[in-house]
Amino acid sequence: MTQQTPTALGKVAVLMGGASAEHEISMLSGAGVLEALRDRGVDAHAFDPSERPMEALRTEGFARCFIALHGRFGEDGTVQGALELMGIPYTGSGVMASAIAIDKTMTKRVWIAEGLPTPAYRLLRAGDDPQQFAALPERFGLPLIVKPAREGSSIGVTKVTERAQLTGAIEQALAMDADVLCEQFISGDEVTCPVIGIGDTARALPVIRIVAPEGNYDYQNKYFTDDTQYLVPCGLPPGEEQRIQQLALHAYRVLGCRGWGRVDVMIDAATRAPSLLEINTSPGMTSHSLVPMSARAAGISYEDLCLQLLQQATLDNPRAAVKGRS
């Protein structure tokens, strides 16, 4: 497929900020994308949906959008649906794939149905009998992971190492989401694998191995410290990186993702068996972010990555959208 030149892409909105708990990170991602696209000659403009009505994208003549929003109201199919109605092509996954991928429980259900490995889990909902919580350590062992079902950037995630922490961890997660995921903890290597492209043409980028202080890859260690190590080449045993890449591609495709994404995986230290944790359909693009890091290892600069993603902007149903706008 012939790629459009930067000037032919028209007026572009970089959607950033938004109303989610990841507003701050989204602003950093958006600022990087905005600068990169302008550097490549794109007529790009910042647009924060939490400050301006989405309808302004149409009335102000934007031809396409680069979605640099993270979390709810940006990565969950809501913004994608609005852009579909307006007929404005956008980067990343469509409505259905975005809505499924933001929900860690729904993602797990699809992966399990497809025979893909993911840690055992229990879904807790607001209003459930608290007595149900007590049996979780017996079911999954300790430590175990407690996290909101629909947040990203490790927001609200607790690694529970003793029983006394469990109730507080669940309450913290419930304060952010009515659904809480209690998940088996996998001890071993934490890796992530970006994927770019659509369908059969999608490809996995180099795997990154994450070595965080005391194994705690939390919000602070993700974005605001230099203590976490990101290893690319990942240094995994021969053949293991290729298996992780194949698994990430499979996980991406069965959810119907497109454009780009990043699949997080744990590798069991004892068995070397991989387990899928989650997928991000609008990954970070900050100075600490992993997709640009992996792309660089594959010979793709940050600026070229942004331009390539923008050139692939599309709609779930482009023909119907064009007809609707005429």
Active site residue 303: no
**Same-domain pairing of 203 and 216:** yes
- State the total domains in the chain: 3
Active site residue 284: yes
- Give the model confidence (pLDDT) of 63-73 as tens digits: 999 999 998 88
Active site residue 264: yes
pLDDT at residue 20, rounded to an integer: 85
Whether pLDDT at 217 is above 60: no
| pTM of the model as a whole | 0.91
**Same-domain pairing of 35 and 138:** no
Residue 85 lies in a domain: yes
Active site residue 278: yes
Gap between the Cα atoms of 190 and 134, Å rounded: 28
**Same-domain pairing of 126 and 109:** no
Q: Is 164 exposed, middle or buried (0-12, 13-18, 19+ CB in 10 A)?
A: exposed
CATH of the domain at 113: 3.30.470.20
Residue 323 lies in a domain: no
- Among 12-16, 155-159, 293-297, 321-325, the range scoring the smallest mean pLDDT is 321-325
Host domain of residue 43: 7-91
- Under the banding of pLDDT at 50, 70 and 90, the label for residue 83 is very high
Q: Where are the alpha helices (DSSP H) in 103-213?
A: 104-113, 136-140, 166-174
The radius of gyration computed from the CA coordinates of the chain, to the nearest angstrom, equals: 20
| Annotated catalytic residue within 17, 22, 26, 294 | 22
Mean pLDDT of the 227-249 span: 94
Mean pLDDT of the 255-262 span: 97
**Same-domain pairing of 112 and 221:** yes
Residue 241 lies in a domain: yes
Mean pLDDT of the 224-230 span: 76
**Same-domain pairing of 43 and 149:** no
**Same-domain pairing of 141 and 284:** no
CATH of the domain at 38: 3.40.50.20
Residue 326 lies in a domain: no
What percent of the chain clears pLDDT 70, i.e. is strictly above it?
A: 92
Mean pLDDT of the 26-48 span: 97
Active site residue 280: yes
